[in-house]
């Protein structure tokens, strides 16, 4: 897998779901708002056109209002941003499956 860094390599050129290295803020339980602590995780995120009709409210906070943008998902952390991204490569089934097991149809 090859990581592409948003600050030097830019974003993907096409819409899709990508592996993403996500930077996010911690949460101040007392004040009920994000704090200045920063964390990182790897997860998948959708990269799509900001004008997509079902996108309202899902665009990451610092993304532009038009063009291709990174989106949050249910359960996203406070103030998410994508630091790096990678293509999701197709994972083939093993060459051998147990007897009586059939691959699902795509």
Segment 21-59, tens digit of pLDDT: 999 998 888 888 888 899 999 999 999 998 877 777 898
Residue 18, strand partner residues: 45
Strands (E) across 1-106 are located at 4-5, 16-28, 33-49, 68-70, 81-86
State pTM to two decimals.
0.79
Tell me: the pLDDT tens digits for 80-95? 999 999 999 888 888 8
How many whole angstroms separate alpha carbon 106 and alpha carbon 99? 21
The token pair at 93 is: 């089934």
Sheet holding 81-86, edge to edge: 4-5, 81-86, 16-28, 33-49, 68-70
The token pair at 100 is: 């009586």
């Amino acid at each position: 897998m090859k990581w592409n860094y948003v600050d030097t390599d830019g974003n993907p050129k096409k819409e899709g779901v990508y592996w993403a290295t996500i930077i996010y803020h911690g949460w101040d339980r007392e004040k009920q708002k994000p704090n200045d602590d920063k964390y990182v995780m790897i997860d998948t995120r959708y990269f799509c056109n900001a004008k997509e009709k079902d996108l309202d409210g899902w665009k990451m906070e610092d993304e532009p209002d038009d063009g291709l943008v990174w989106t949050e998902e249910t359960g996203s952390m406070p103030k998410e941003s994508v630091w790096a991204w990678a293509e999701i490569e197709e994972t083939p089934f093993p060459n051998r499956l147990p007897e009586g097991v059939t691959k699902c149809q795509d």
